[in-house]
Amino acid sequence: MSILVIAEHDNNELKIATLNTVAAAKEIGGDIDILVAGMDCETVADSASQIPGVGNVLLANKETYKNSLAENIGNLIVELSEGYSHIMAPATTNGKNFMPRVAAKLDISQISDISAVISNDTFERPIYAGNCIATVQSTDTIKAITVRTTGFDACESSGGSASINSIDNDTNAGVSSFVKEEIAESDRPELTAAEVVISGGRGMQNGDNFSLLNGIADKLGAAIGASRAAVDSGFVPNDMQVGQTGKIVAPDLYIAVGISGAIQHLAGMKDSKVIVAINKDEEAPIFSVADYGLVADLFEALPELEAKL
């Protein structure tokens, strides 16, 4: 078994999603290499080389890979695929973007969003918004896999000493180019990596009211999320959406405020360890997954909660 893990990073920092993916790779077992493709991303390669259990870090440091364009990265991974039994990436928007290209080029059927490893060819993955868990066995010789990061605890990030090998492949497809990026700046932890998440829904009524969550998030070191209803209504930006088609989170504590609990939202948070729901509608489906439910007007409950923490 020889596994190639594609690193998730922003050219400056190795993202924790990479550690979740390496953890899944370790469950499969075998040699693990990490590909760091980007531009001026040597520090990322250094971080990757310190992950215990990693053999080689392949560093593709080129303008071609700066913005992680799927066409260019996909072709690079295809060129590097020989000799690997598994190619794995986190199921982030980035991994979801390039991995199917790799699979199609290699004529293999990708296994998306695995939540557990059963053996080197058999995996569990949620389907139907997580209402069913399918156990699937791949018959392809190479397995192309994306990993649901909440399914695997991050592996250690230091103590290893992999060698870093620069590779010179340049697979610029020349069909797409980067125009701009608007990345939200925040001092809060990343939604998918936070130990505590507090999310607001349609019940928040408008974007300004989301500030009621700030003080609580500050006290708990929490990330702030939202339901699709809140995002669609324009209260908050899309990158805050938790759900089937947004971010999948599984923090130690998830606090849902003014969220009714549609199937699609539950799909994104029901693996949280402890769930608190605050909603004025006692019939709200969110209470069916909550460990602690409170029927209350959130405009009274939130200031009180902030004061009591």
Partner 1 sequence: MKILVPVKRVVDYNVKVRAKSDESGPDLSNAKMAINPFCEIAIEEAVRIKEAGNADEVIAVSVGDSSSQEQLRTCLALGADRAILVETEESVEPLGVAKALKEVVSKESPDLIILGKQAIDGDANQTGQMLAAMLDLPQGTFASEVEIQDGIVQVTREIDGGLQTLSLTMPAIITTDLRLNEPRYASLPNIMKAKKKPLETLSSSDLGLDLSPRQNTLKVAPPPERAAGIMVEDIEQLVDKLKNEAKVIT
CB of 88 or CB of 103, closer to partner 1 = 103
24 contributes a contact to partner 1 by CB under 8 A: no
275 contributes a contact to partner 1 by CB under 8 A: yes
154 contributes a contact to partner 1 by CB under 8 A: no
- Residue whose token pair is 């999603």: 17
Q: 304 Cβ partners below 8 Å, 6+ apart? A: none
Q: What SS3 state is found at 217?
A: helix
CA dist list (Å): 129 to 89, 151, 257, 266? 21, 15, 21, 8
Tell me the C-alpha distance between 217 and 215, whole Å.
5
CB of 39 or CB of 296, closer to partner 1 = 296
Here the tokens at position 257 are 């405020």
Please select the residue that binds partner 1; options are 153, 179, 187, 283, rule is CB under 8 A.
179
H/E stretch holding 4: strand 2-6
202 contributes a contact to partner 1 by CB under 8 A: no
Task: Report in angstroms how near the CB of residue 83 gets to partner 1 at its nearest.
Answer: 20
Tell me the C-alpha distance between 266 and 167, whole Å.
43
Q: What SS3 state is found at 257?
A: strand
Tell me the C-alpha distance between 12 and 123, whole Å.
32
175 contributes a contact to partner 1 by CB under 8 A: yes
Task: Report in angstroms how near the CB of residue 175 gets to partner 1 at its nearest.
Answer: 4
Tell me the C-alpha distance between 17 and 9, whole Å.
9
Tell me the C-alpha distance between 269 and 249, whole Å.
5
Task: Report in angstroms how near the CB of residue 219 gets to partner 1 at its nearest.
Answer: 9
274 contributes a contact to partner 1 by CB under 8 A: yes
Which part of the chain contacts partner 1 (CB under 8 A), choosing from 29-37, 54-62, 98-106, 204-212? Answer: 98-106
Tell me the C-alpha distance between 138 and 128, whole Å.
20
Which part of the chain contacts partner 1 (CB under 8 A), choosing from 42-50, 104-112, 153-161, 200-208? Answer: 104-112
Which part of the chain contacts partner 1 (CB under 8 A), choosing from 49-57, 155-163, 164-172, 246-254? Answer: 246-254
Overall residue count recorded for the chain in this entry: 309
Task: Report in angstroms how near the CB of residue 66 gets to partner 1 at its nearest.
Answer: 12
Task: Report in angstroms how near the CB of residue 228 gets to partner 1 at its nearest.
Answer: 7
1 contributes a contact to partner 1 by CB under 8 A: no
Task: Report in angstroms how near the CB of residue 165 gets to partner 1 at its nearest.
Answer: 26
Which part of the chain contacts partner 1 (CB under 8 A), choosing from 28-36, 50-58, 86-94, 199-207? Answer: 86-94
192 contributes a contact to partner 1 by CB under 8 A: yes
